[in-house]
A and B are shown apart, each in its own frame.
Chain A
Amino acid sequence: MRETLVALVGSPNSGKTTLYNWLTGSRFKTVNYPGATVDYSIGRTHERYGESIQIMDTPGTYSLDPKSPDERVTNEAIFNHRLHGASSVVVAVADATHLARQLLVTRQLIEAGFPVVLAVTMSDLLTERHETLDVDALSNELGIPVVLINGRLGGGVDKLVEAIRTQIASSASRPRAAKIEAWTDDKVEATLAVNSAIVARALLPILHQKPRKLSTARERTRRIDRVLLHPAWGLLIFIALMTLLFSSIFWAAAPAMDAVDKGFSWFADYVRNLNPDNLFIEFLSNGVIASMGAVLVFVPQIFILFLGIILLEDSGYLARSATLIDKPLSKLGMGGRSFVPILSGYACAVPAMMAARTINSKRERWLTLFILPLMSCSARLPVYALLLAFLFHGKPAWYAGLALAGIYLLSLVSGGIAALIAGRFLKIEDRSFFMMELPVYRRPKGSLVLRQALTRTSAYLKRAGLPIFTFALIVWVATTFPNAHEKDDTVRLSSSYAAQAGHVIQPVFEPMGGDWRTGVGLMSAFAARETFVSSLAVVFQVATDNEATLKETLMQKMQSAKAPNGYPLFTLSSVIGLIVFFMIALQCLSTVSIAAREGGGWKFALMQLAVFNVVAYALSVGLVQGLRAMGIA
């Protein structure tokens, strides 16, 4: 027999995900941006609520008549889930302060035949306005159990679980729910009118209490929005906030990065000195520890980026950013709902592509999915950091910082250009509309934000960790054998399997100013971009110096590296060529597979893969050759 499944369904920003986190005890997913949940997630109720029940969180939806892909996810998940079929019980979630409007979907769920429990959230905002909800009256009018929830403190969740149990017990005797016809306009209008009347009767003022607080959340929000959505100030503050977010990736992370770098250098040295002649020890220090270190150095930066995005989400500013940027993005064929995917694209293209499900227009969604791989994702950060450190060696740190900021900005520009060009050829036409509810501002909870940022960072590490380790192993074996016992490192390397294979592919990378070693690095970058750095670290055997840190050693080795023709391998032109290549090339296989899923098939994904890699290679070769023709090595 199928296990019972209880679905949470409600309008965007109704407090569904907060409730889900209370129910399951995994309290690190609250989001204050409409449409932040783009996929359903299934969990189990926490043991403090007794015998566990399977709970499903779904993307927010205004009705059971879906108008964007994320709403379609909700519809499919509750009516015919792949494993569980139709949900046994549905918890309709509605915000107490917008109850009349959000009850529409509750009504539709009842009509579809689900046993429904209504969970009214944000009771704290109601109390603040000196109002209370007559739960029994509402329950009588609607004919379903109603529970009041305080999302901030978790009050009422135990009552909700009880109500769910009662509904599950009664659901066995009822026929399963089935999809309903889309409601007619008149029906929607009439229902809204009835709902308004019901809610008006159920909402009661609290009398004889201490005077009302000076300002409610709604009034505060209005005042803040006067500034943050102001035609001039709003835009300035938006630009300032984005600049702050991206520049803090550089300056705020520097001390932590330094510590990680030093720590790993020391560790690699320590391990190597245990037995310098042992091959396995050498593999551990030169292969594993050095390449892990070369990538882990960038974790502080990635953490700060996630932290910034989460703060924007939780405070409620993200919905405002989407509104502010809607007009400029619509000039490029996209819209305000493309903003969150694009911003997430600076962390990772995979969740970014999933976030694009909230875009209702097929055309805007296609263009957004198409340009997302151009956004400078966190996996590119280690690569740029290394190449820029090389370019600006011995110069003040802000040189590289400024150049990196330039790269981030350029990736946005290239995305815009790509959207304009692709828009000319794209045949898909679809209506485009933008409607977004702006939630009240809420102070993000420090501990929740930190926990969330840590979760996302560790998810990133888990994803990146295995390819890095695997490729470090492959590259180390390939650069060490067959002459593993050769004492002279240069001879050992130049006679290795990697060198032999590299000479075959070398002609491809020569026009870019590279040789087989850059080739090995670039090939391994297709597993995950950051493995470029760790592969170079193995190829150049960086853990052989006692004094300097890993990055410093790799830098020295890169400076002295010579191409087969005797010229330096890493020059101004070849490094710029590499940067341009990394900016445009789509080298991430996880992105390709998610693009196939989200973009409607492998045709889209393979086209994207081909276009970006061909363009990246052509631009890079053109740039290197052009610079060399002008006399810049």
Chain B
Amino acid sequence: MRVEKRAFFDHSPQRTYALELIMTLISVTTLASIDLDQPALIRDLQGDPVVVSRLREIGFVRGEEVVARGRAPFGEPILVELRGAMIALRKGEAACVKL
């Protein structure tokens, strides 16, 4: 049992990152975690600067309404409706869009 415990608290960088990601996903609603067909307003964009910049250029800006319309097979990419356009995003990119 001790061995298992140690494995759980092992602070490898990947584990820390994964935990952080999970915490973020739980505490903040993002485009990656909302239910399908539930319209929501974009509150902020956070994450990799290039990804965020491209999201903005495509039209994901504060105050805009987005609806997750479906998921591709294997759970990704997510299909997002934005101003009548359908845009496919991976979970990683969708998680940058805070609602």
Chain A residues at the B interface, C-beta cutoff of 8 Å = 62-63, 65, 67, 97-98, 100-101, 104, 182, 185, 188-189, 192-193, 218, 221-222, 225-226, 229-232, 234-235, 319, 323-324, 326-328, 330, 336, 431, 433-438
Contacts and interface: CB of A to CB of B under 8 A. Distances in A.
Nearest to A192: B61
Q: Which secondary structure dominates where chain B touches chain A? A: mixed
Contacts of A232: 73
A327 B76 contact: yes
A629 to B, nearest CB: 42
28 contacts: A97-B84, A98-B84, A101-B59, A101-B82, A101-B83, A182-B53, A185-B53, A189-B56, A192-B56, A192-B61, A231-B73, A232-B73, A323-B79, A324-B72, A326-B72, A327-B73, A327-B77, A336-B88, A431-B51, A433-B48, A433-B50, A434-B77, A434-B93, A435-B55, A436-B87, A436-B88, A437-B86, A438-B88
B74 interface: yes
B51 A433 contact: yes
A435 B84 contact: no
Nearest to B75: A327
Interface of B: 45, 48, 50-59, 61-62, 69-77, 79, 82-90, 92-93
Contacts of B58: 62, 101, 435, 437
Contacts, number: 114
Nearest to B84: A218
Given A188-B57, A435-B89, 6 more contacts: A62-B57, A225-B79, A323-B72, A326-B90, A327-B73, A434-B89
A431 B50 contact: yes
Contacts of B85: 98, 101, 437-438
A326 B86 contact: no
B72 A327 contact: yes
A189 B62 contact: yes
Most A CB atoms within 10 A — which of B59, B76, B79? Answer: B59
Nearest to B74: A327
Q: Which of B71, B84, B88 has the most C-beta atoms of chain A within 10 angstroms of its own C-beta?
A: B88
Nearest to A129: B84
Contact of A98 (B48, B51, B83): B83
A37 B83 CA distance: 25
Interface centre among A65, A218, A327 (most CB of B within 10 A): A327
A336 B79 CA distance: 14
A104 to B, nearest CB: 6
A222 B70 CA distance: 11
A323 B93 CA distance: 14
Contacts of B84: 97-98, 218
Contact of A189 (B61, B76, B77, B92): B61
